[in-house]
Amino acid sequence: MSTTLAEPRMVLPGASAWPRYPSLYEINTWVWVSELAEKYGKNIDLSSVPSGEWDAIAAFGLDAVWFMGVWERSPAGIAIATQNQNLLAEFRRALPDFRAEDNVGSPYCVRRYVVDDYLGGPEGLAVARRELSKRGMNLILDFVPNHVAPDHPWVVEHPEYFIRGSARDIMQDRGSYTEVGGTVFACGRDPYFPAWPDVLQLNAFQPDLRRAAVETLTSIAQQCDGVRADMAMLFLNSVFERTWTARAGAQPTTEYWVDVISYVKGTHPGFLFIAEAYWNLEWELQQLGFDFCYDKALYDRLEHTDAENVRLHLCAALTYQNKLLRFIENHDERRAAATFSPAKERAVALAVATLPGMKLFHEGQFEGRKVRLPVFLGRRPHEHFDREVYGFYTALFEALNRAAFCDGRWWLCVRTGRPDNPSFRNLVSWSWVHGDERYLIVVNLSDRPAQGRIHVPWGDAAGTSWKLIDLLSGAFYERDGDELQSRGLYVSLGRWSYHLFQCLRTRSREAT
C-alpha cells in the first residue's frame, strides 16, 4: 500500500538562507537557561535572555544555534527514569550532589511538540529566534521520529500509530513492552541495544502516522529554520522491517523520509534536515532528502585510528562529503577535553572546522568542560573555565570567519616524503579557494614529529612568489611558486601541530 502524501498547495514566504557549509552551535537549553538565571539572580527564560549573551554567541561567527531539548518534558518519563538504578548511578557520576529535582526528564521523551513552559513556551522561543536572526543566525530544533513519551496525546487518541504487543509479550520481555491505559505498547528501541523504557515505539509503516509527522514537522517549521532528526536511520524501511518484522505490517512503497521531507520542503523552502545517522547509512539518507548527516565515522577515526585512515575517509566524493556534519563532541559523545589530550584536541578541532560540510560545536566545548551531562539533568557541575582552550577556539573562529570556509572550493592535498622517512603519512592537508583567497591547512595527526611535502592543487602556483601567513601562530614564510608547483611545500611539524596558512601571491616572474 502506498502512503504517498498530497502535494503541498502553497509555498510560504521567508525561506531560510544558509551558506554552503554552515557552522552549528548546540546548546543544552534547559541547563543554559537555568545557569543564566543563577548568573543574573533572576528568573530567565528564552524570552528574557540578556542581549549580551546573544552577542557572545554571535561573536564566534556561527551560522546557527541548535536549542537541544525545548519540547515539553514528560512527567511519566521522569517517573520511569527515577526508578532506573542504572540511570540514577549515571546521574550521580556526572553530578555528585544529584537531587531528585535535577531529573527534569529526557528531551527525547517528548510529551508534546510545544515549547516547555520552563523555557518560556512558544512565545519565548519566538523571541529567541528573533534575537538570533538579528545577529545573522538561524535556529535548529529537535525532531524525534522513532518514539514519544507514554503520556503523549497520541497514546490515547491514536494507538494505531504505535507498535503494539500483548500481555504475553510483557510476560516474556517486560523490559521491551509496557501497558498504558489497557493497551500494550512496544518501548522504543535501537535494534542493537535494550529498549528505552520511558518511550513508546511509533510505527514507521503506518500511513496515518506519516501524515501526523508531516503535520508535526510543519508546525515545527513555523518556529525554526531546520531540525535535527534523532536516530534518523531507524525509520528507513529496510531498518524498520528488520527491527520489527511482522509487527510493523506491510512495508510501504515509499520511504518515510521522502514523504515527510518532500512535503515540508515544499511549504518551507530552505528548511534544513539534519540526520543523526550511524551504521554507514549516511549516503542513503542523503539520497532521501537530508541536507546533512552525522559523520560519526570521521569522529571514530580521529579518536581511535591514524592520519592515513582519516585521509582515506576524506577521499570520498565531494557530493557525499558536502552533506556530512563533522564534530568532535556533542551531547551523545564524551567531551572533547576528556577524550583528547589538549594538543590533540586542538589538532582535531582545526581539522574538523576546516572540512567541507556542516560543522557542529557543543556549548561548553570552547570552555574546556569535561563532564558529559546526561540529557535528563537540568543542572550540571561547576567546572574550571579553561582560558587556554577558550583562547584557542576564539583565535580559530576569528581565522575562519572568511567566505572561503563557508562558500569556497575544497581540495584534499597530496602529501609525499622520503622513502627513509615515512612520517609524512601522519600529515593530512587540504586547501580552500574563494575568488582570489587561498588557504592551506596542514595537520600532524600523530604524537610524534612529521615531515613531508604538501602538493598544492591550484595549478597556477608557478611563476609567482608566495607569502604564507599562519593565521593561528602569526608566523609567515616566503616560498617560490615554482617549487610549490613541482616539489611541493616542505613542512616539519611537531606532535599534534598544524598550520592554517593564508596564501598570498606577492609578485610574478614578469614583475621581476
Instruction: Render pLDDT for 126-154 as a digit per residue (tens, 0 to 9).
Output: 999 999 999 999 999 999 999 999 999 99
Cα 40 to chain centroid distance, Å, stands at: 30
In 16-63 the beta strands, taken as DSSP E runs, fall at 23-28
Residue 96: is it exposed, middle or buried by C-beta count within 10 angstroms (0-12/13-18/19+)? exposed
**Position 15 confidence tier, pLDDT thresholds 50, 70, 90:** low
The per-residue pLDDT for range 435-462, each reduced to its tens digit, is: 989 999 999 999 999 999 999 999 899 9
Q: Sorting pLDDT into bands at 50, 70 and 90, what band is 325?
A: very high
The answer, yes or no, to whether residue 96 has pLDDT greater than 70, is yes
- Dihedral sign, Cα of residue 61, residue 66, residue 68, residue 70: positive
Q: Is the pLDDT of residue 259 over 90?
A: yes
Angle, helices 342-353/296-304, rounded to nearest 10 degrees: 150
Q: At what angle do helices 387-400 and 342-353 cross, to 10 degrees?
A: 20
User: In the chain, what percentage of residues exceed pLDDT 70?
Assistant: 96
Q: What is the mean pLDDT of the chain?
A: 95
Q: What is the pLDDT of residue 17?
A: 87
Residue 7 has pLDDT above 50, yes or no: no
The 10s digit of each residue's pLDDT in 379-406 is: 999 999 999 999 999 999 999 999 999 8
Confidence band of 108 (pLDDT split at 50, 70, 90)? very high
Q: Is 512 helix (H, G, I), strand (E, B) or coil?
A: coil
Could you identify the residue written with the cell 515527510?
260
Specify which residues 437 forms β-bridges with. Answer: 434
Q: List, in sequence order, every residue forming a beta bridge with 500; answer none if it has no partner.
A: 441
Report the C-alpha gap between 343 and 245 in whole angstroms: 48
* 44 pLDDT higher than 50: yes
Q: What is the pLDDT at residue 510? A: 54
3-state secondary structure of 261: helix
- How far is CA 150 from each of CA 127, 156, 162, 170, 375, rounded to the nearest angstrom? 30, 9, 11, 16, 18
Query: SS3 of 440, please?
Result: strand
Kindly state the helix (H) or strand (E) to which residue 212 belongs, with its residue range. Answer: helix 207-221
Furthest-apart CA atoms within the chain: distance in Å: 88
**Nearest-angstrom CA–CA distance, 468 and 456:** 13
